[in-house]
């Protein structure tokens, strides 16, 4: 008999193999990102999703690009 019980609530072994790690080669995927939630109408959501699909990107990446275009980072990082 083993000490491991198989079933619904068992923990998988070797978590390093299945935990998704962020890809840090893009500006959008920084290790210290913050989540932003906004309320939009269903029509706005549909337009955003359609625009993202048409451009071959995600809604999140589309919104990041829009925010960067409208609110450029003018603050210099300390050296």
Query: What is the block-wise mean pLDDT of the chain (79 residues), using blocks of 10 residues?
Result: 55 62 58 82 96 94 92 72
Domain that holds residue 50: 36-72
In this structure, is residue 46 part of a structural domain?
A: yes
In this structure, is residue 49 part of a structural domain?
A: yes
In this structure, is residue 66 part of a structural domain?
A: yes
First to last CA, the chain: 60
In this structure, is residue 65 part of a structural domain?
A: yes
Question: From CA 51, how far away is CA 49, in angstroms rounded?
Answer: 5
In this structure, is residue 78 part of a structural domain?
A: no
In this structure, is residue 9 part of a structural domain?
A: no
In this structure, is residue 21 part of a structural domain?
A: no
Number of domains in the chain: 1
Report yes or no: 57 and 51 within 8 Å, Cβ to Cβ: no
What is the per-residue pLDDT for 74?
Answer: 80
In this structure, is residue 61 part of a structural domain?
A: yes
């Amino acid at each position: 008999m083993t000490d491991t019980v198989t079933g619904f609530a068992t923990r998988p072994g070797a978590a390093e193999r299945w935990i998704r790690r962020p890809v840090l080669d893009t500006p959008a995927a920084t290790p210290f990102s913050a989540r932003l939630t906004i309320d939009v109408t269903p029509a706005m959501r549909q337009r955003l999703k359609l625009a993202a699909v048409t451009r071959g990107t995600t809604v999140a990446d589309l919104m990041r690009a829009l925010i960067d275009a409208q609110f450029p980072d003018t603050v210099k990082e300390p050296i």
